[in-house]
Structure 1
Amino acid sequence: MKPAFGNRPHDPSPSRAGGFGAGLARWTRRLIAGAVLMAVVLVGGTAFRVWQVARIDDTRPADAIVVLGAAQYSGTPSSVFEARLEQAYKLYKRGVAPQIITVGGKQEGDEYTEAASGKMYLTDRGIPSSAITAVETGSDTLLSIDAVSAEMSSQGINSAVLVSDPWHSLRTRTMARDTGLQAWTAPTRQGPAVFTRESQLHGIARETGALLWYQLTHFSADFPYTAGQ
């Protein structure tokens, strides 16, 4: 005799196993899609903030104007560095701060540091040497900001207007504030960093990645930041 229907042994049917597998695959796809969406929102939001802060010119009075270094050649600033120094010169002449701090070390084989060449450029423009402090250390943004923070602390001052390229502003400001400085930005509006739409997009993309890396690790993503400038 055949067993009654209700007395059959329990045996999961292939359709149930297939349904479980399909459900798992569906949830896996949803998790992946959610992760991708979060990544897109994070990257897009950070890129927007890089662009937004790049447009800010905050020239309220401060203790110092800080010029982030860039490449120099035998004491002559590169076009990128010169644009930053010219912005610092204008801010000083407007009375934004009583002194300028130039910062940046030197690459192997260089005779001058970025900070020293920046100071020479500004004194040649007529700013008194006594109003310029050269912090001759720092091979990337984070090391430079740490060196500036230490110098300002030794002088008993705490507020700074940071001068760099527009796209570099948010990361520089974030690092400065993390050291305890009161910092805001007034970036240059001239030079190679802002010449073309391509250079602007490249700068935003680079700084978006570098800022996300810093926020994740608290290390600099510069290799070094002066490379090619």
Structure 2
Amino acid sequence: MRLLRRIVVLAVLAGAVYLAVTAIRVVQVAGIDDRGPADAIVVLGASQRNGSPAPVLEARLEQAKALYAEKAAPRVVTVGGGQPGDRSTEARAGKEWLIEQGVPARDVIAVPTGTDTYESLEAVSAEMRRQGWRSAVLVTDPWHELRSRAMARDLGLDAVTSPTRTGPSTGTPRSARYVARETLAYAAYSLLGERGSRLLSKGP
């Protein structure tokens, strides 16, 4: 019994250390802003309302628009599906917003697939392979950078990240909650792969 208790204690300590290191990595990678150049800017989806991007998605689209203007990539890919009953998708709402903001329609590609980060990146990876594109600048929230980058690279993309610094997901009062969530989500994905990516709530 004494040996068993020691094993349990060591396992708990090891798990705690792993989570602490992962949390540090989440925060460190959140500070990275890599602006290409790349084949495409990829905007990871977030909620939309009847074709209008909600604040989280709009903040990501603003970042993508700025990157496009800086010529980080010659095109923007929006991604994300819709919920039952939705009149639009995250990808379509994002594409329409970018076009309204002056990005040429020919340079915006919508991939209306995915209800979570892995599904979305899987669809983007397939579309980029079909087009002969390989490198991507991922646009998402800072705390989501580590996990989305890891997934994209595992799916064969040469991926870097350039997060939005505005929007509801970036404010300091809520940072601890987002870091904790992403720490658990990244740990689940690291240990269990695609299956682990679906253990927490849907969406990026």
What TM-score range do you get, normalising by the shorter chain?
over 0.9
Query: Cα distance, 1:216 vs. partner?
Result: 1.6
Instruction: Tell me the TM-score normalised to structure 2 length.
Output: 0.95
Over residues 116-139 of structure 1, what are the superposed CA-to-partner deviations in whole Å (9 max), with x where a residue is unaligned?
Answer: 000010001000000000001111
Pair 1:213-2:202 in alignment = no
Q: Which consecutive segments of 4 or more residues in structure 1 shift more than 4 A? A: none
Partner letter of residue 60 of structure 2? R
- Tell me the residue number matched to 1:143: 119
Which of 10, 31, 34 lines up with 1:58 in the alignment? 34
Query: Cα distance, 1:33 vs. partner?
Result: 2.1
Q: Distance in 2 between matches of 1:194 and 1:159?
A: 26
Q: Secondary structure at the match of 2:23?
A: helix
Partner letter of residue 178 of structure 1? D
Structure 2 stretches lacking a partner, 5+ long: none
Q: Distance in 1 between matches of 2:74 and 2:192?
A: 35
Instruction: Tell me the TM-score normalised to structure 1 length.
Output: 0.85
Q: Work out which of the two has the higher radius of gyration on C-alpha atoms and give 1 or 2.
A: 1
Pair 1:224-2:189 in alignment = no
How many residue pairs align between the two structures?
Answer: 201
Query: Cα distance, 1:34 vs. partner?
Result: 1.2
Which of 57, 69, 90 lines up with 1:81 in the alignment? 57
Question: Could you tell which deviates more after superposition, 216-225 or 68-77?
Answer: 216-225
Query: Cα distance, 1:215 vs. partner?
Result: 1.4
Q: Distance in 1 between matches of 2:88 and 2:137?
A: 25
Over residues 87-114 of structure 1, what are the superposed CA-to-partner deviations in whole Å (9 max), with x where a residue is unaligned?
Answer: 0000000010000000000001100010
Structure 1 stretches lacking a partner, 5+ long: 1-23
Which of 142, 156, 167 lines up with 1:180 in the alignment? 156
Query: Cα distance, 1:32 vs. partner?
Result: 2.2
